[in-house]
Structure 1
Amino acid sequence: MLSFSSAIEPLRIANQLAAQPLYSWHTLSEDGTSVTCSNGTELTVNGPLSNAPQADYSLIVAGPAAQNAAQSPAVSWLRRKARFGGTVGAISGGTGLLAEAGLLASGGFTLHWEDRLGFCEHFPGLEPLDQLFCADGQILTCSGGTAALDLSLHLIATHHGQRFARTVSDMCVHAGLRSGGERPQSSLSYVLGSRSPHLVKAAGIMAENLEDPLPLQEIAHRAAISRRHMERLFSTHTGRTPAHYYRDLRLERGRKLLSETDYRLPVISAACGFSSPTVFARNFKRKFGIAPVEYQSRRPRRA
C-alpha cells in the first residue's frame, strides 16, 4: 500500500500544481476484482488487465510472492507490452514478474532489499542493484516503500523539469530529489554504530561470504587488521564476537529464505554456510526460539 500510494500521489500533486491534467492513471488487477493490500485495505480497481487502456507507462506493484508467479496473466501481459515498445516497470516485489517475463538483465534493475535473497535464489542468473530505482531504457524498477515516490519525481523531472519536480517534492514533505543510485538501506557504518573503516570492512566481507564462510583470520587479513584487534572492535561496537556476529548474519539469511522461498532445509542450510541441516536447525532454534521447519510453516502467505 505504501509503494502504491507513493507512486501515485506525486502525479496527483503535479496535476494540482499545474492546474491541468498532466497525468492520468488506471488501477488494474488480473481479474478485475478488488485487491487486498498488505495492511488489509481493500483496493478497488478500474478493471482487469485484459481491458487495460493504452498507456505510456505500465507498472506492476506486488509483494515478494510474485517471484513464484510464472503462470500469472501479468507475466504474458508484460511481455506483450514490452514487445510493442511500451515502457514497463515494477515497484517492490513486482520486479519478480518482470524477471519471469524475461525482461531483466543484471545490472539494470532493483527491488526491495528484503526480497533480494529470495529473488537471487529463484533467479540465480540475475543480480539486482542496491539502489532506490533504475531507469534502464524501457524498463523501470523501484526498491519499494517511499522509493516509489522518488521514481515518480524522477519521471516528473524528466517531463517537466527539476524545478517543478522539487515543488512537487516539497508538497509531499519529501527530502528533495534523490537520485536513483542512492542506497535504499542505511549505511553499514550506521548499522554498526561505528565509523571504523576496519570494522565496516570486516562486516562487509562477512556479508558477502555467507554461503562459503571465510576463516576469521582471513577476514582480519582482508580488513588489514589483526584478529585480536578485530575481536575488540566487534565486542565494543556490536557486543558480540566476530564469530557470533558472522553466525547471526547467516542465520538471518536463513530466516529470510524460510520466509520468502519454498526451499527445503538442506538447500537453505547450505546456502547459509552450515555444515548440515541439523547444525543449522540447532543454531536457528537457539537464536529465534523456534525450529526452522515450524517457522516456515507459520509464515504468512502474501500476494
Structure 2
Amino acid sequence: MSFANLSRIGLDKPLRVLLVNAGEADAITWAGLVQPLRLCAAALGPQTLQLLVRTPAQLAAEAPGHWHVALLVADETQAALPAELCRAVIERCRSAPFWGGVGAGVLWLADAGVMDGVRIALPWALYADAEAKAERAILTPHLFEIDGPHLTCCGGAASIDFALTLIETLFGADAQAHVKEALCIDHVRGKEERQRVALQARFGVLQPKLSEAVTLMEANIEEPLSTDDIANLVGLSRRQLERLFKQYLGSLPSRYYLELRLQRARQLLQGTHNSIVQVGLMCGFSSGSHFSTAFGALFGHTPREERQRKLMPGG
C-alpha cells in the first residue's frame, strides 16, 4: 500500500483517525500533528472526519474500536511507556488499515519488532538508541515515510508537514489549502525531504565513509560525480559503496544522488525565478527532457506544474 491506497480510504465516510498522545500536550511533535487535523475535522464535519484523541492508558482501558488511521505520538525526549502498556497500545493501533508512529513513538514500534524490514523516519536524536534496539528496521533520513500500511514521521516541526500531507492525500488539495491558510503556512515539505542533521548524526561516527560520500554528493550537484569517482574519493570499491548505501539508506548511490539533485531542483523552482531549463542545468541535467522525466518520476508532476503550484493561491 502507498499514497494511492491511503487516498482510497478517504472515500470512507466518516473516516476515523486515532491519535494516541504518549507525550506532553504542548510538545510541537504533538501540536504540529493534531492542530491541522482538528482544523480539517472542524471544516469537513463529523460526517466526513472523526478525530479520536486518547492517552495510552485511556486506549488500553477501552474496548477495541474501529479506525482507519492510528498513530502513536511522543516527543523525542519522552521516556518509553511501560512494556505491558506499550504492547496493548501497539496492538490496538495495528488493527487499523494504516498505522504507525510519530517522534519517539516510531522508536517504540521498532523496538517492539513490528517495523522489521520497514522504512521508518525516526528523529535523528534517537538514532543512537535505534542502533541498539531497532536493528531490523530500515532507518531513513526523511521527514516522514509511508511504507505499505506503515506511517512514520520524525516529529518536531515535520509533524505539521506530515499532517498536511495526510490531509491532502485523504481529502484533497482544497482541504489542505484551507488548513494551510488557517495556519499561515506557505510551503509543505514532502516525504522525500531530509532531516538536515540526520545523516551526520547517525553515520558520522559509525559509518564515516557513507557520511563522506553523501557530503561529496551534496557538494557536487551542478556537475555530478560518477559512482566510481565517489567510491575512489572515499577509499572504497564501487561494490563496497553500493553495499553501504543499500544497507543503511535502502538505495543505490546513483539513485540517492539523483534524488538529492531533484530535491535541490524542487527547492530552486519554489524559491527562485530561474527558468526551468536553468534549474535543470544547475542540478546537473544537460537535457530538459531528461530533467522533466526524472522530476515527474519522483514527484508525480512536471517541473512546470511544480512552479505553477507555487504560484497558485494557497499553493
Q: How would you bin the TM-score normalised by the shorter chain?
A: 0.5 to 0.7
Structure 2: 5+ residue runs without aligned partners? 1-26, 210-214, 217-228, 234-315
CA contact (8 A) 1:66 1:94 kept: no
State the alpha-carbon separation in 1 of the partners of residues 198 and 75 from structure 2. 24
Q: Is the 8 A contact 2:121 2:143 kept in 1?
A: yes
What does the per-residue CA deviation read over 1:234-264, in whole Å, with 9 as the maximum and x for residues that have no partner? Answer: xxxxxxxxxxxxxxxxxxxxxxxxxxxxxxx
Q: Which amino acid aligns with 2:89?
A: W
Query: Which residue of structure 1 aligns with residue 29 of structure 2?
Result: 3
**CA apart distance, 1:70:** 7.3
Moved more, 155-164 or 99-108: 99-108
For the pair 1:29 / 2:75, whether they are aligned, the reply is no
Partners of 1:209 and 1:14 lie apart in 2 by: 40
1:117 aligns with 2:128: yes
Q: CA deviation at 1:88?
A: 1.5
For residue 151 of structure 1, report the CA deviation from its aligned partner: 1.5
Q: How does 1:152-231 map to 2 (within 5 A)?
A: 152-185=163-196, 208=203, 210-211=205-206
3-state DSSP of counterpart to 1:25 = strand
Taking a change above 3 Å as real, the CA distance of residues 157 and 134 of structure 1, as seen in their structure-2 partners, is same
Cα distance, 1:67 vs structure 2: 7.9
More deviation in 94-103 or 21-30?
A: 21-30
Alpha-carbon distance, 1:169 to partner: 1.7
Superposition deviation, residue 223 in structure 1: 8.8
2:60 corresponding residue in structure 1:
49
**Residue 70 of structure 2 contacts residue 96 of structure 2 at CA under 8 Å; is this kept in 1?**
no
Asked if residue 143 in structure 1 is aligned to residue 154 in structure 2, the reply is yes
Counterpart amino acid of 1:59? L
Larger Rg: 1
What is the identity, as a one-letter code, of the residue corresponding to 1:2? I
Match for 1:56: what amino acid?
H
- Once residues 65 and 174 of structure 1 are traced to their aligned partners in structure 2, the CA distance between those partners, rounded to angstroms, is 26
1:102 positional shift: 2.1
**Count of equivalent residues:** 191
Whether the aligned pair in 1 keeps the contact of 2:142 and 2:191 (CA below 8 Å) is yes
Query: CA separation of 1:207/1:167 partners in 2, compared to 1, >3 Å: closer, same or farther?
Result: same
The match for 2:111 is 100
- Tell me, yes or no, if structure 1 residue 77 matches structure 2 residue 89: yes
- The Cα shift of 1:15 comes to 3.2
Deviations 1:36-59 (A, max 9, x none): xxxxxxxxxxx3422164222221
Q: Quote the RMSD (CA, aligned, Å).
A: 3.6
Are the structure 2 counterparts of residues 64 and 120 from structure 1 closer, same or farther at C-alpha, using a change threshold of 3 Å?
farther
Taking only the aligned residue pairs, the percentage that are identical comes to: 21
Pick from 50, 59, 72: which aligns with 2:71? 59
Query: Structure 1 residues 135 and 212, CA, compared in 2 at 3 Å: closer, same or farther?
Result: closer
The alpha-carbon distance between structure 1 residues 67 and 124, as it changes in their structure 2 partners (threshold 3 A), is farther
Match of residue 127 from structure 1:
138
SS in 1 for 2:139: coil
Q: How much has 1:213 moved relative to structure 2?
A: 6.4
Q: Relative to structure 1, is the Cα distance of residues 122 and 64 closer, same or farther in structure 2, using a 3 angstrom cutoff?
A: farther
Q: For 2:67, what is the secondary structure of its paired residue? A: coil
Between the aligned partners of 2:202 and 2:80, the Cα distance in structure 1 is: 26
Give the alignment of 1:238-277 within 5 angstroms.
none
Provide, for residues 83-109 of structure 1, a one-character-per-residue CA deviation record: whole Å limited to 9, x for no partner: x45322111010122113322134521
Amino acid in the other structure paired with 2:91: R
Residue pair 1:150, 1:178 contacting (<8 A) in 2 also: yes
Tell me: CA distance 1:98–1:18, structure 2 relative to 1, closer, same or farther (3 Å).
Answer: same
1:140 deviates by 0.7
Structure 1, gaps ≥5 residues long: 32-46, 189-203, 226-303
| C-alpha spacing 1:65/1:71, structure 2 compared with 1 (3 Å) | farther
The code of the aligned residue for 1:165 comes to Q
| Equivalent residue letter for 1:182 | E
